[in-house]
Amino acid sequence: MSRLLSKKHIAIFAPALLFANFVSGCAMLMRTQTAQEALPVIGHIVYDHWLALYAASKGNIAFVDEPLVRHRVHGGNQTNTVADVHTKQDYVGRRVIPYEKRMRALRGRIDIGQVQRDAEAWAQARAAYAEGDRGAGRTIWKYRKLDLKVSLFELLLPVIPGPAFRWVIRSVRRGVM
């Protein structure tokens, strides 16, 4: 059953798409005009995530309330959260820096309101903290509500020993964390 989302639901989904993609490109339909307006796809984001985020920011989302595909996440998936992360430097280079670049690229293309500005400030603080600016930790903490687990993990990252970091990454890959 296809349902158009109310403004209330769109107000929830658009901000949620700033942090994670829950729309699969292989099950997505989009009006030609909306797709054309979304072009070009911004860097540092997978195309289906960008299209869903753009459509959500314009209030153009509907969904089918039944599974259309079977999606399996595995180590080779493009969107695997910790694919190719083995060291702290890998994590920063594949998770922190691209997210900050993505948030910067969104500026001027979409406007989801205060949550987008908060996410941009959080992203900038995460990148600065990862580069050694410990004062940026206060900003990460200020915006911890955006993603508490990530905020806590990254605040502790400088003091987590290498073996403990690798254990955490293995746990995430196994779905334990």
**Residue 56 sits in the same domain as residue 94:** no
Same domain assignment for residues 36 and 112: no
**Among residues 168, 176, 175, 22, which one has the least CA distance to residue 85?**
168
Number of domains in the chain: 2
Domain extent at residue 24: 2-64
Are 16 and 53 in the same domain? yes
* In a shared domain, residues 56 and 93: no
In this structure, are 51 and 117 located in the same domain? no
In terms of domains, do 26 and 99 share one? no
Work out whether the CA dihedral 160, 163, 167, 172 comes out positive or negative: positive
**Residue 96 sits in the same domain as residue 157:** yes
Q: Are residues 54 and 96 located together in one domain of the fold?
A: no
Quick one: which H or E segment has residue 2? Answer: strand 2-4
**CA 22, 113, 121, 127 torsion-angle sign:** positive
Looking at the structure, do residues 131 and 164 belong to the same domain, yes or no?
A: yes
pLDDT, tens digit, for every residue of 143-159? 999 999 999 999 999 99
pTM: 0.83
Residue 102 lies in a domain: yes
Please write the tens of the pLDDT for every residue from 42-94: 988 989 999 999 998 887 777 777 777 776 665 555 455 677 888 999 999 99
Q: Say yes or no: 55 and 100 in one domain.
A: no
